[in-house]
A and B are shown apart, each in its own frame.
Chain A
Amino acid sequence: MSTSGSSPIVTIMGCVIVAIRDDLDDREVLMLQDQLVEEVARVKARGVIIDIASLEIVDTFAGRMLGSMAQMAHMMNARTIVVGMRPAVAMTLVELGMTLDGVETALNADRAMSLILGRRIKPS
């Protein structure tokens, strides 16, 4: 397990999972991105799950990080899924003009895991 600030990064069944703690400054956002990319390479991950449920705001900087994370992971053959986006955050991102094209989303980490692992997990 590694950490960025107090956001722990864990890998479960080839999925790199991070729950971003609230209020990262820009430097911490970039550090987290670096750590995620390194972890994806280290464990040869199939997917990255970024839980942003505790984020009250996602501005253009954090939004861009989510987008580039998805692109980088894609080039390393891993899928990135953002989970837990608050409704107010979604509305704000759209008004900002950031639609996060190319970033997959899911309701929660459970669903994201099933998406990444595909049919290997049977729905209960």
Chain B
Amino acid sequence: MTDESWTVALVRQSDVAFARQVAMKAMTAIGASAIKKTKFVTAVSEIARNAVIYGHGGAITFRVVGIGLHRSVVGECTDRGPGIADMQLALKDGYTTGSGLGLGLSGARRLVDRFDIISSAESGTTVTLESAAR
């Protein structure tokens, strides 16, 4: 179980829905509560959509880490985009360079237990999301 992983390619909008399904399956596998599941899957939806819209596509990989009651799901989303120029600004509520609400990135960060983001013009953006079962 611990070395199992699922990868979803993110190219078109329907891939975001598929990523949500896989995220839900992974959270169900670790016996996560309804609220934890909903928060994590919502965060995945926001990050995966960003990868498709702003990141020229990419992929998200889910894996289960930890043992027993302390298991959690880690999602790592990488894209092929231009990177984020001003990270502080990008993580602010209401800031957007597109037509959205500017709540996706900042909101996703609040929904998970761990949120890491690395971005550069050369290697695109990688967002790591982690959520425990409870």
Question: A-side interface residues toward B, CB under 8 Å?
Answer: 23-27, 56-61, 64, 86-89, 91-92, 95-98
A98/B21 contact (C-beta < 8 A), A26-B16, A92-B39 known: no
Q: How many residues of B contact A (CB 8 A)?
A: 26
Is B63 engaged at the interface, CB distance under 8 Å to the other chain? no
With A26-B13, A92-B111, A97-B103 as contacts: A59 and B46 at CB distance below 8 Å: yes
Q: What residues make up the interface of B, taking CB atoms closer than 8 Å to A?
A: 13-14, 16-17, 20-21, 24, 34-35, 37-39, 41-42, 45-46, 49, 93, 100-101, 103-104, 106-107, 110-111
Chain A nearest Cβ from B108, distance in angstroms: 8
Docked pose: A89 CA to B93 CA in angstroms:
19
**Contact across chains for A96 and B100 when beta carbons are under 8 A apart:** no
Interfacial chain A residues near B103, Cβ < 8 Å: 60, 96-98
Q: Hey, which chain B residues are within 8 Å of A98, CB to CB?
A: 101, 103, 107
- Complex interface: chain B residues within 8 A of A24 (CB): 17
Selected A-B contacts with CB under 8 Å, 12 pairs: A25-B16, A56-B24, A56-B37, A57-B41, A60-B46, A60-B101, A60-B104, A64-B100, A88-B39, A91-B39, A96-B110, A98-B107
